């Protein structure tokens, strides 16, 4: 009796974890946590109120210091910029992605990302949100990163070609910086292919026709930026030529590598200096740049904010509907 009981092995204790439990669940990835954080920020009423306050305070501080202000040039410059930012840019992104998503999906996702981009330094929230939306449709992480990175690259290339076509020389340091970033991207691709090949995209790269389409849309968008800058400067009672506006905007992109809040970033400061060097007074240049930054909030709040609120309302309606069968 004792022998049999001694030979019988006692059951393994299960006080720490269930016996049938599998391997411990992996912690949430940084990608997922960043997406959840951006989602909470997008649905935050505080963020929307802060955006409205910024759009009201900045013009209220700068405009009274000007001798005269005209709103018609501002409105004429704003309209093509809104069409370029919220129509042409999403279409460029869709042409380069080729994921089979509808135009409406890209329009909404891009508008939402612009609102989040204004709320984050360096506009980084826009790219993270677009990647989050793409992965939410079932697209792989590497494909989502490639989609947004390629859209950014084509946009920068379109700016370079557009300014060069207009006859304005870009700073040598800006060209060297763009070459350095391209070299770093190639090196990063080679390292990732060797260390983490699962992170690489699985979809084919865009065809030359898609790239040409994206460059065409990017060039049209750059023209809309020049129209907005011309309108904001004209609203302060001063005038510059379109080529000067393109040169000032292109030169200010050199400071875009340093992140900063919308309206107070190094890029905005560089744009003020470029306008002053073109003959615009300091007060008028600062007011024009602040107007340009403040006006960006209006369509972002109207289009991106409405889209985010509609998504939140739809999610709330689907929640009780999904709970009924249970």
Secondary structure in 3-state letters for the chain: CHHHHHHCCCCCCCCCCCCCCCCCCCCCCHHHHHHHHHHHHHCCHHHHHHHHHHHHHHHHHHHHHCCCCCCHHHHHHHHHHHHHHHHHHHHHHHHHHCCCCCHHHHHHHHHHHHHHHHCCHHHHHHHHHHHHHHHHCCCCHHHHHHHHHHHHHHHHHHHHHHHHHCCCCCCHHHHHHHHHHHHHHHHHHHHHHHHCHHHCCCCCCCCHHHHHHHHHHHHHHHHHHHHHHHHHHHHCCCCCCHHHHHHHHHHHHHHHHCCCCCCCCHHHHHHHHHHHHCCCCHHHHHHHHHHHHHHCHHHHHHHHHHHHHHHHHHHHHHHHHHHCCC
Identify the band that residue 254 occupies on the pLDDT scale cut at 50, 70 and 90.
low
Task: Report the distance separating Cα 65 and Cα 37, nearest Å.
Answer: 39
User: Is the residue at 18 inside a domain?
Assistant: no
pLDDT reported for residue 3: 47
Q: Which of these ranges, 16-20, 91-95, 310-314, has the smallest mean pLDDT? A: 16-20
User: Is the residue at 4 inside a domain?
Assistant: no
Task: Report the distance separating Cα 239 and Cα 230, nearest Å.
Answer: 7
Q: Which of these ranges, 219-223, 263-267, 287-291, has the smallest mean pLDDT? A: 263-267
Residues 20-32: pLDDT tens digits? 444 444 444 665 6
Over range 251-266, report the average pLDDT.
62
Residues 103-155: pLDDT tens digits? 999 999 999 999 888 887 778 889 999 999 999 888 888 888 888 988 988 88
Tokens 């949430």 belong to 28
User: Is the residue at 61 inside a domain?
Assistant: yes
User: Is the residue at 208 inside a domain?
Assistant: yes
Residue-range definition of the domain harbouring residue 189: 32-309
- Pick the more confident residue, 17 or 196: 196
Phi, psi of 191 (to 5 degrees): -70, -45
Highest mean pLDDT among 22-31, 74-83, 166-175, 232-241: 74-83
Task: Report the distance separating Cα 317 and Cα 3, nearest Å.
Answer: 66
- Model confidence, pTM: 0.71
User: Is the residue at 11 inside a domain?
Assistant: no
User: Is the residue at 24 inside a domain?
Assistant: no
**Which of 258, 40, 256, 50 lies closest to 132 in space, CA to CA?**
40
Mean pLDDT in the chain? Answer: 74
Task: Report the distance separating Cα 261 and Cα 119, nearest Å.
Answer: 8
pLDDT reported for residue 52: 54
**Which of 302, 154, 171 lies closest to 249 in space, CA to CA?**
171
Over range 213-223, report the average pLDDT.
90
User: Is the residue at 134 inside a domain?
Assistant: yes
Q: What tokens does 108 get? A: 């909404």
Highest mean pLDDT among 248-252, 260-264, 265-269, 298-302: 298-302
User: Is the residue at 288 inside a domain?
Assistant: yes
Q: Are the beta carbons of 225 and 56 closer than 8 angstroms?
A: no
Highest mean pLDDT among 103-107, 226-230, 266-270: 103-107
Task: Report the distance separating Cα 46 and Cα 286, nearest Å.
Answer: 27
CA contacts within 13 A on the Cβ side of 67? 3
Give burial (CB, 10 Å; 0-12/13-18/19+) of 149.
middle
Task: Report the distance separating Cα 99 and Cα 206, nearest Å.
Answer: 11
Residues 6+ apart with CB under 8 A from 88: 217, 218, 220, 221, 224
Residues 6+ apart with CB under 8 A from 86: 107, 110, 111, 114, 299, 303
**Domains held by the chain: number:** 1
């Amino acid at each position: 009796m004792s022998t049999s009981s001694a030979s019988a092995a006692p059951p393994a204790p299960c006080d720490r974890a269930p016996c049938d439990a599998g391997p411990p669940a992996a912690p949430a990835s940084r990608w997922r946590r960043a997406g959840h954080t951006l989602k909470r920020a997008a649905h935050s009423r505080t963020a929307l109120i802060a955006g409205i306050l910024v759009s009201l305070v900045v013009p209220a501080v700068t405009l009274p210091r000007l001798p005269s202000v005209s709103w018609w040039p501002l409105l004429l410059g704003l309209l093509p910029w809104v069409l370029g930012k919220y129509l042409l840019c999403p279409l460029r992104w869709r042409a380069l992605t080729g994921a089979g998503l509808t135009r409406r999906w890209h329009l909404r996702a891009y508008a939402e990302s612009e609102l989040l981009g204004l709320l984050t330094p360096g506009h980084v929230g826009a790219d993270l949100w677009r990647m989050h939306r793409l992965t939410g449709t079932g697209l792989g992480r590497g494909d989502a990163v490639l989609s947004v990175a390629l859209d950014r690259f084509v946009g920068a290339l379109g700016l370079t070609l557009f300014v060069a076509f207009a006859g304005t020389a870009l700073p040598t340091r800006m060209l060297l910086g763009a070459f350095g970033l391209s070299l770093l991207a190639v090196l990063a691709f080679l390292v990732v292919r060797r260390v983490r090949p699962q992170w690489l995209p699985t979809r084919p790269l865009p065809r030359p026709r898609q790239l040409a389409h994206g460059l065409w849309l990017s060039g049209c968008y750059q023209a809309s930026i020049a129209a907005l800058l011309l309108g904001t400067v004209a609203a302060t009672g001063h005038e510059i030529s379109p080529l000067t506006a393109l040169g000032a905007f292109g030169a200010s992109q050199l400071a875009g590598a340093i992140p900063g809040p919308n309206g107070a970033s190094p890029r905005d400061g560089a744009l003020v200096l470029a306008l002053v060097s073109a003959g615009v007074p300091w007060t008028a240049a600062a007011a024009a740049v602040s107007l340009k930054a403040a006006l960006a909030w209006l369509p972002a709040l109207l289009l991106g904010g409405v889209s985010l609120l509609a998504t939140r309302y739809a999610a709330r309606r689907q929640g009780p509907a999904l709970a009924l069968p249970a």
